[in-house]
Amino acid sequence: MLRNSASFVAIAAMIFLAGCAGLGSMEKAIETLNLKVNPETLILRGDIVEVEITGNFPAKYFAKKVRLEATPVLVWDTGEAAFATEGFQGEEAAGNYTVVPFEAGKSFTYTASIPYEAAMEDGAHLELRLKGLKGDKVVDFDPYVLCNGVITTPQLVQPDDKFATTPDRFQRTMSYTLGDDINYAYNSSRVTTAETRQDGWKAMKELFALAASADSVSLTGTTIEAFASPEGEITLNEDLASNRAASAQKALMKELKRKKVDTAEDFYTLMAKGEDWNGFKRLMSASDITDKDLILRVLEMYSDKSKREEEIRNIAKTYSEIEETILPSLRRSSIAMNYTVEGYTDEELIALATTAPATLTVEELLFSATLFESVNDKYTIYAACADAYSSDLRGHNNAGVCLMEMGRRNQAEEAFNAARSLDPNNKAVLNNLGAIARQKGKTDEAASMFAKAGSGAEVSYNKGLVAITRGNYGAAISNMSGSTTANLALAKLLNGDANGAKTTLENANDDSAMSSYLLAICCARLGDGDGVKRNITDALTKDGTLRGKAQTDLEFQNFSSELGL
């Protein structure tokens, strides 16, 4: 009875193997498919792992009635992830898979991707799982290992986001103009004592006294425009305007001499304007005279200025406001006294910014901060500026930039948000908030902020960091051009230019452990074992915590002896 059972099992096995004869030979000959993975080790790109597998079914390999389902699977210590399944079938098999001719064979290229998981970095490998089907028979081939796991070099992006300050508009020498009008009696060019007692002339005298006593105040020139009222004769008005300009100059020269203020030869610019018809129209339009519009229309009908002057005299007899207010206001010399005030010295600004910041203007405070070397001191001044001038976003924003340099990101974000509340579209603030979002892993939010921020060196560089994170290495290189940083080198390395990356790192002013580590990767990709050894030793000397990374990093899988770990 036992013999009969054994015979039955053997017969059954023979029948099964006979049915699967094509599958068995196909499994045994899998090496002939010449399977290749590009790249030879999978590499993270953005947030996905991509794979490309090429191969060739040789002639007379693929049995005519067989179907084959191929599934690349990434396997690691604690899990696995399958790529999409690709199907192939023989010429006589039923189904909709890619047909492989028995006599000719067929080459193929397979591409797919899966989302990246952090655990994939730990001892992963890529294997191909093949399932053969012939009729209702199914055979699972032994897994075929294609390559080691995932290189995660793109994750070596360094947080060197560029933060933008908002500039001051400080001018140490400020230019000002003090104006005054000297009015005259009808047909007169004499400057009366009453005119020199007016508030405008008093202010002029105070300026002269200040210029005489303070080295920081300098008179730079004056322009005198003299006019006559338009009811006088044309020739008389022209001479009268010139005389009035001269009399105003004489009055100024007398006052400056009294205050002992010297002036250059070209200090005075005299401009005799003649009758002030435009001024008359302006004052008439602004007056409360009931018929002002009609009066002006009538006067403008006269192309002959003499006729118009006569008519103005007649109208003035009827309207007292014209006679008593408008015409006297036009008989004048208008003085524009130009002067400069020299601001505080750097030493004075530093002292005031630290002891009495509220006494400085917002521009002086913002500029003062740039005079300090220490970021802590800069922050103190910008914070004081934000407190004293809370409605000006620059103090808040620049304080935030300092806080980022000090490693206080949460407080920096609060400062940037305070700045944004004052101007939601400020480009520097948008850039800075975008940089913080990128550092917090909010890539889409960061990209949106940078798009709104537009252009600029800081914005472009930060766009490059986003491009690396998204796997757009060409765009990253373009955006970061002009810089010499480890991140630019990383972008070049990931874009296939290990030599360019190495050159960038060697020219960078970066003595960090990560810079040395990246140099070691460049050397590994260039097949330079000595360079790997030299730079990995340097990196570990600077930062011993990189030892574990280097031990498992597949960038160095062919340089175990050089690592010496």
Per-residue model confidence as pLDDT tens digits over 20-30: 447 989 999 99
Q: Calculate the alpha carbon distances from 408 to 326, 359, 400 in Å.
A: 65, 29, 9
Is the domain of 127 the same as that of 22?
yes
The closest of 457, 383, 385 to 427, measured between CA atoms, is: 457
Domain assignment of residue 21, yes or no = yes
CATH number of the domain encompassing residue 442: 1.25.40.10
Q: Are residues 464 and 490 in the same domain?
A: no
Reference 23, options 55, 54, 58, 68; nearest CA is 68
Least confident range of 51-55, 302-306, 398-402: 302-306
Assess if residue 195 is contained within a domain. Answer: yes
Which residues, other chains included, contact 125 with Cβ-Cβ below 8 Å and sequence gap of 6+? 74, 75, 76, 145, 146, 147, 148, 149
Average pLDDT of the residues of the chain: 91
**Same domain flag for 213 and 278:** yes
d(CA 121, CA 147): 14
In contact, 241 and 273? CB cutoff 8 Å = yes
- Does residue 10 sit within a domain? no
**Do 53 and 113 reside in the same domain of the chain?**
yes
Give the pLDDT band of residue 6 (cuts 50, 70, 90).
very low
- Is the confidence at residue 417, as pLDDT, over 60? yes
Nearest to 40 by CA among 135, 125, 132, 147: 147
Contacts 24+ apart (CB under 8 A), 247-254: 247/182, 247/189, 247/190, 247/191, 247/333, 248/182, 248/191, 248/224, 248/333, 248/335, 249/224, 250/191, 251/182, 251/191, 251/196, 252/204, 252/222, 252/224, 252/335
445 and 514 part of one domain: no
Number of domains present in the structure of the chain? 4
Q: Are residues 337 and 353 in the same domain?
A: no
Length of the chain as a residue count? 565
| pLDDT tens digit sequence for 223-280 | 999 999 887 655 566 789 999 999 999 999 999 999 999 999 899 999 999 888 888 8
Helix and strand numbers (H, E) in the chain are 24, 16
Q: Which residue has the tokens 């020269």?
A: 253
Are residues 220 and 325 both part of a single domain? yes
Q: Are strands 125-134 and 144-148 parallel, antiparallel or unpaired?
A: antiparallel
Find the mean pLDDT for residues 429-435: 98
Residue 99 bridge partners (DSSP): 89
Same domain, 203 and 338: yes
Write down the pLDDT at residue 233: 58
393-405 and 362-369 helices, crossing angle to 10° = 10
The answer to whether residue 3 is domain-embedded is no
Q: What percent of the chain has pLDDT over 70?
A: 95
Domain limit, last residue, from 342, 364, 382: 342
Q: Beta strands 48-57 and 66-76: pairing type?
A: unpaired
Kindly report, residue by residue over 453-465, the tens digit of the pLDDT: 999 999 999 999 9
Are both 245 and 258 inside the same structural domain? yes
Of 342, 366, 397, the one marking the end of a domain is 342
Instruction: For residues 67 and 202, state if they share a domain.
Output: no
Read off the tokens for 379.
Answer: 């922050």
287 plus 363 within the same structural domain: no
In a domain, 118, yes or no: yes
List C-alpha distances in Å: 257 to 174, 325, 333, 440: 25, 34, 20, 69
Show the domain range for 27: 15-151
